[in-house]
Chain A
Amino acid sequence: MESKTIDFERGWDHVYKGIKQLRRILEGLPEPLFTSGEYVMLYSTVYNMCARNPPHNYSQQLYDKYREVLEEYITSTLSPSLRGKRDEFLLRELVKIWVNHKVMVRWLSRFFNYLDRYFVDYRSLPALNEVGMTCFTDLVYREVQTNIKDAAIVLIGKEREGDRIDCSLLKNVLDIFVAVGMGSMERYEDDFEADMLRDTGAYYSRKASSWIEEDSCPEYMLKCEECLKKERDRVFHYLRSSSEVKLIEKVQHELLVTYIDRLLEKEHSGCRALLRDDKADDLSRMYRLYCKIPRGLDPVADIFKQHVTAEGTALVQAIGAASNAPGVQEHVLLRKIIELHCKYMAYVTDCFQNHNLFCNALKDAFKVFCNNTGTDSSSAELLATFCDDILKKGGSEKLSDEAIEETLENAVKLLAYINDRDLFAEFYRKKLARRLLFDRSANDDHERSVLSKLKQQCGEQFTSKMEGMVTDITLSRENHAAFEDYLRSNSAAHPGIDLTVTILTTGFWPSYKPCNLNLPTEMIKCVEVFKGFYETKTKHKKLTWIYSLGTCNLSGMFDQKTIELVVSTHQAAVLMLFNTSDRLSYSEIMDQLNSTHEDLVRLLHSLSCAKYKILSKQPDTKTISRSDYFEFNSKFTNKLRRIKIPLPPVDEKKKIVEDVDKDRRYAIDAAIVRVMKTRKVLGYQQLVSECVEQLSQTFKPDIKAIKKQIEDLITREFLERDEENPNTFKYLA
């Protein structure tokens, strides 16, 4: 660079020549472009005028001249071309002059570049670009901004009505709005977007109000989906991406939020009807449309819940009204409930994307009708019986393994909706015991699989006892092998009868009434022998014998032929009395056996009044009375060589319910103590709700029962009522 001072006039003259050349180029006149040499000269001139010490430093003057030049260019060349133009023409012209302006600014800035390097910062002045933009804004933009905005919005409106518009033109126009903001989106938002959104809102409001009258719900929803898609395309094609959220919200508001009630409640095509007619696609669409809207899904989930509840309740009532045989009816009921569950679960997963609201709606709906079967048996008992039917031998032999697994899986799922889960556990346990002890279980794998499903659903505590029962059976088999070894090595101890003993761990199994039946000597010997064996294994455990659970194979030496009788131990004890006496009265049997009247009547009935009359009774009536006499019926025969004489079980239902009630009292007691121990001082209502919460996995406690336990705990001096506030309780350590 040559460093020589330049006179201002001369320097400016040179620069101005370059500017005039630039203008001619911009006008489109045949003017050669700047060579790099020419450019360098211009740059240097500016440099020489600025990189000087005063008084030869003309930075400020040049800076001012820069602005002057631009302003002059705009007012003389650019602005006039806009006047008188409207609508799309205005837009086109604007874009054209904007491009020109940008070129002018770019080149000018190159010439005056040296100012940008030092002077601008030194004086904290706006940079040359900024000056350029400000000039454009002040002299062009401000005048036309409203018209441009309106013109743009009109174009958008046309596109909405289906016309094709020049998207790139719109895009360029909107770029201007953004550029004018100089780094912030304020101009775009305030000068264009705000009104565009308003206009959008008004447009869709009009459309919605007529569509909602004419269209069915599915049709309306389709239109909504399309509109939303189009608006998104609009953003993609020319609007700024920052507009998307606001735009979509506006559209959603006008189309979906405003009319949500009318839409969903449309009589023949609304949500209820869609559910009724299994319109999965439409429901999926409904979900898609409303899931983005805050609280948009609430009414849909509500209608879903009402629908499922109604279906379920109707089902229960229909089956209750039908007059099938009791057992069949209940089986059918459960099957149908499972079907209903599968059906609507599919809706939840497929249409409603497993959304929480719908999962809960389904749950709540099922809870309503699953707990009210309309029969004598509680739903807990029905479900346990249902499982028992599938798991026992002869129950479901026709079904494949997968089908059985699936049914059991669905049955366990239903448990979540039943309040009295602990009652179910107790019924299930009782039936499991019968299956295990009388070898009625069809398939070990299925048994285990159900237990693991129950454990998953209800927690380890729920199934720990049942698992213990299954383990006991396995251990008993091992134990039996050891017993046989023992007998082999102590042949003198052998009782002469094949004996199998199953050892049950008391805590796991349901409680059984102990009995003081007098056994025949042969059996007593068996018991003694086994006791002897057991003592060799452990001295710390006490054996209590439950003969009511045993079975016995007797050889009945009838006149015609010997028949093997498979009976219960108690039945065997009765029959063996007739080995020593030909004829016995009821009271004699009673004395010798030491039974209860209730049990004895049952036993004798099964042997003398039922299908197989092993004993003959005098008088030969259908019921047992205490004055009857019994004899061994030697005339009895049957074409089979081996028959089972069933002994109908005692109805344990009442006892089970009592046991569960008792357990619940303990559970409530423990829950109250647990809560109060932590909280020390707590208000009544909060105490109740925390207890309910704690127990909710197992059962739904009765509020009165909780109150009763609280009072009991006060008497036992675990709690006391607060003196100041009788609704608050204190824990007494």
Chain B
Amino acid sequence: MRRSACASKKTGQTNSTNPISCSPSDLFRSASSKASSKEMERIDNLFYFYANRSSGMIDPEGIETLCSDMEVDHTDVRILMLAWKMKAEKQGYFTLEEWRRGLKALRADTVSKLKKALPELEKEVRRPSNFEDFYSYSFCYCLTEEKQKSIDIESICQLLDLVLGSQFRSQVDYFIEYLKIQSDYKVINLDQWMGFFRFCNEISFPDHSNYNPDLAWPLILDNFVEWMQVKQS
């Protein structure tokens, strides 16, 4: 997971010094760009509305305000989906570039449009072709510290519930129960995280009839299945 320094972004590029040069693409753009530049302007304005003056980014406070404006809880999974759409790098913060990226893709330049775009966004994310990417993104998004590679059990449980709860309710519930009582692992890494997703998709539940511990499943899942088998007998 790359962690590029998010603060140092190039802001406002100065135009070229030659005012006379004007490429055909500029001309083309200028024709249809009137509409899109207006949209861009609105998006930017919206950004600055929520952004923190000094940092130039939308911070957690700003996000909370945005959420309440959209009448969505800030712990709602759809906010995470929005972050995914924006390809936001730092949890709790949106940069201008990310904001632009997300809202442009959603074709939303006002809060109400953004709110209306959420159901469509959710559908998009839940498409199998996107969901795996979203799932892995949600893990990386939670790695807040530099060089952090794993997430503590408590947070993982919350994240699992948020991201997979609707789709794999029983697996998530049992796994969360197991995570809380086991003591082998204090943190979960990306490999284990993705392993669980694969597990939910491939293994029949709750009988685990097609689970084979001799394969390369993460050890924590081997232990989980063992624990369940003991519990069920």
List the interface of chain A (C-beta within 8 A of B).
Answer: 684-685, 704, 707-708, 710-711, 714-715, 721, 726-729
Residue in B closest to A721 when the chains form the complex, CB atoms = B191
Chain B interfacial residues counted at CB < 8 A: 13
Q: Find out whether the CB atom of A715 lies under 8 angstroms from the CB atom of B222.
A: no
List the interface of chain B (C-beta within 8 A of A).
Answer: 149-150, 189, 191-192, 195, 198, 214-216, 218-219, 222
Residue in A closest to B216 when the chains form the complex, CB atoms = A684
Q: Given that A711-B192, A715-B150, A715-B191 are known contacts, is A704 also in contact with B219, CB under 8 Å in the complex?
A: yes
CB of B139, distance to nearest CB on chain A (Å): 13
Complex interface: chain A residues within 8 A of B195 (CB): 726
CB of A727, distance to nearest CB on chain B (Å): 5
Q: Find out whether the CB atom of A727 lies under 8 angstroms from the CB atom of B222.
A: no
Q: Find out whether the CB atom of A685 lies under 8 angstroms from the CB atom of B214.
A: yes
Complex interface: chain B residues within 8 A of A704 (CB): 219, 222
Q: Given that A714-B189, A715-B150, A726-B198 are known contacts, is A684 also in contact with B218, CB under 8 Å in the complex?
A: no
Complex interface: chain B residues within 8 A of A707 (CB): 216, 218-219, 222
23 residue pairs of the A-B complex, CB under 8 angstroms, read A685-B214, A685-B215, A704-B219, A704-B222, A707-B216, A708-B219, A710-B216, A711-B189, A711-B191, A711-B192, A711-B218, A711-B219, A714-B189, A714-B191, A715-B149, A715-B191, A721-B191, A721-B216, A726-B195, A726-B198, A726-B216, A727-B215, A728-B216
Complex interface: chain B residues within 8 A of A729 (CB): 216
The number of A-B residue pairs with CB atoms under 8 Å apart is 32
Q: Find out whether the CB atom of A715 lies under 8 angstroms from the CB atom of B189.
A: yes
Complex interface: chain A residues within 8 A of B214 (CB): 685
CB of A688, distance to nearest CB on chain B (Å): 9
Given contacts A704-B222, A710-B216, 20 further A-B contacts (CB under 8 A): A684-B216, A685-B214, A685-B215, A707-B216, A707-B219, A707-B222, A708-B219, A711-B191, A711-B192, A711-B218, A711-B219, A715-B149, A715-B189, A715-B191, A721-B191, A726-B195, A726-B216, A727-B215, A727-B216, A728-B216
Residue in B closest to A714 when the chains form the complex, CB atoms = B191
A561–B50 Cα gap in the complex (Å)?
Answer: 94
Complex interface: chain B residues within 8 A of A727 (CB): 215-216
CB of B149, distance to nearest CB on chain A (Å): 6
CB of B6, distance to nearest CB on chain A (Å): 22
Residue in B closest to A722 when the chains form the complex, CB atoms = B216
Complex interface: chain A residues within 8 A of B218 (CB): 707, 711
A729–B215 Cα gap in the complex (Å)?
Answer: 12
CB of A530, distance to nearest CB on chain B (Å): 46
A721–B215 Cα gap in the complex (Å)?
Answer: 13
Complex interface: chain B residues within 8 A of A715 (CB): 149-150, 189, 191
A727–B214 Cα gap in the complex (Å)?
Answer: 10
CB of B171, distance to nearest CB on chain A (Å): 17
Complex interface: chain B residues within 8 A of A711 (CB): 189, 191-192, 218-219
Tell which of B192, B214, B216 has the most Cβ of chain A within 10 Å. Answer: B216
Q: Find out whether the CB atom of B215 lies under 8 angstroms from the CB atom of A684.
A: yes
A58–B218 Cα gap in the complex (Å)?
Answer: 99
Tell which of A685, A711, A727 has the most Cβ of chain B within 10 Å. Answer: A711
A360–B52 Cα gap in the complex (Å)?
Answer: 76
CB of A408, distance to nearest CB on chain B (Å): 41
A100–B25 Cα gap in the complex (Å)?
Answer: 117
Complex interface: chain A residues within 8 A of B198 (CB): 726
A726–B196 Cα gap in the complex (Å)?
Answer: 12
Complex interface: chain B residues within 8 A of A726 (CB): 195, 198, 216
Residue in B closest to A716 when the chains form the complex, CB atoms = B149
Residue in A closest to B184 when the chains form the complex, CB atoms = A708
CB of A248, distance to nearest CB on chain B (Å): 47
Complex interface: chain A residues within 8 A of B219 (CB): 704, 707-708, 711
CB of A454, distance to nearest CB on chain B (Å): 34
CB of B218, distance to nearest CB on chain A (Å): 6
A310–B76 Cα gap in the complex (Å)?
Answer: 65
A684–B215 Cα gap in the complex (Å)?
Answer: 7
A728–B215 Cα gap in the complex (Å)?
Answer: 10
CB of A353, distance to nearest CB on chain B (Å): 39
Query: Which 10 residue pairs spanning A and B have beta carbons closest together?
Result: A684-B216, A727-B216, A707-B219, A714-B191, A715-B189, A727-B215, A708-B219, A715-B149, A711-B218, A711-B219
CB of B153, distance to nearest CB on chain A (Å): 16
Residue in B closest to A685 when the chains form the complex, CB atoms = B214
A424–B233 Cα gap in the complex (Å)?
Answer: 39
CB of B183, distance to nearest CB on chain A (Å): 14
A297–B193 Cα gap in the complex (Å)?
Answer: 53
CB of B193, distance to nearest CB on chain A (Å): 12
A147–B216 Cα gap in the complex (Å)?
Answer: 73
A707–B192 Cα gap in the complex (Å)?
Answer: 12
Tell which of B191, B192, B214, B222 has the most Cβ of chain A within 10 Å. Answer: B191
CB of A401, distance to nearest CB on chain B (Å): 51
Residue in A closest to B215 when the chains form the complex, CB atoms = A727
A710–B219 Cα gap in the complex (Å)?
Answer: 10
A322–B206 Cα gap in the complex (Å)?
Answer: 47
Residue in B closest to A703 when the chains form the complex, CB atoms = B214
CB of A515, distance to nearest CB on chain B (Å): 32
A728–B219 Cα gap in the complex (Å)?
Answer: 15
